[in-house]
Amino acid sequence: MRGDERTNPLAVLAAAAMGIAIGLVVQFALSGRGSAPFVPPLSLAVMLVLIAAVLLTLGIRLRRAVLKRAGDVNPFHAVRLLATARAGQLVGGLLGGFGGGLALSLLGRSVPAPATTWVPMLVVLGGGIVLIVCAAITEHLCRVPPGDGERTEETGEEPGPAGQAAYRKP
């Protein structure tokens, strides 16, 4: 995969589908044993939102540094942030799907579950969606607008996001 490509939305959907499947399997296994449904802790959703906020903050700071061209922008910082944003989209899909799968398993019950059971599941689903959105925005912020990068001498191509972010005119 080239460095200047965006994360494939189908990969995020596949991660979400895997999360849904895992959530359903966990609930059906617990139900088969006669156990209570698994209720994720609210701290999971809080952590997903906090990670999303940190990603977005770092993305905005990187973007401002690139646009101002004030000071050196570390290319390794840009690449790490880009990789973290891509991973955040997959993790958000997986854990959001897991929360959705847990909640989905409750729909087939003849007796509705109390709110203390299904609300945390939906909150985790929402936290996963927030992480996906913020990570996608951060991935976009790691890119330099067209025309800001310079062509490399060897290949004649525009540099990738890390090369563009690290470029500083003398």
The tens-digit pLDDT sequence of the chain (170 residues) is 345 678 899 999 999 999 999 999 999 999 999 999 999 999 999 999 999 999 999 999 999 888 887 567 788 888 999 999 999 999 999 999 999 999 999 987 878 889 999 999 999 999 999 999 999 999 999 876 555 555 444 444 555 555 554 444 44
DSSP 118-169: HHHHHHHHHHHHHHHHHHHHHHHHTSPPTTSS---TTT-SPP-HHHHHH---
d(CA 110, CA 121) in angstroms, rounded, equals: 19
DSSP 103: H
CB neighbourhood size of 81 (10 A): 23
Domain boundaries, the chain: 9-145+156-166
Q: What pLDDT, on the 0 to 100 scale, is given for residue 66?
A: 84
The radius of gyration computed from the CA coordinates of the chain, to the nearest angstrom, equals 20
Whole-model pTM?
0.81
Answer yes or no: are the C-beta atoms of 134 and 52 closer than 8 Å: yes
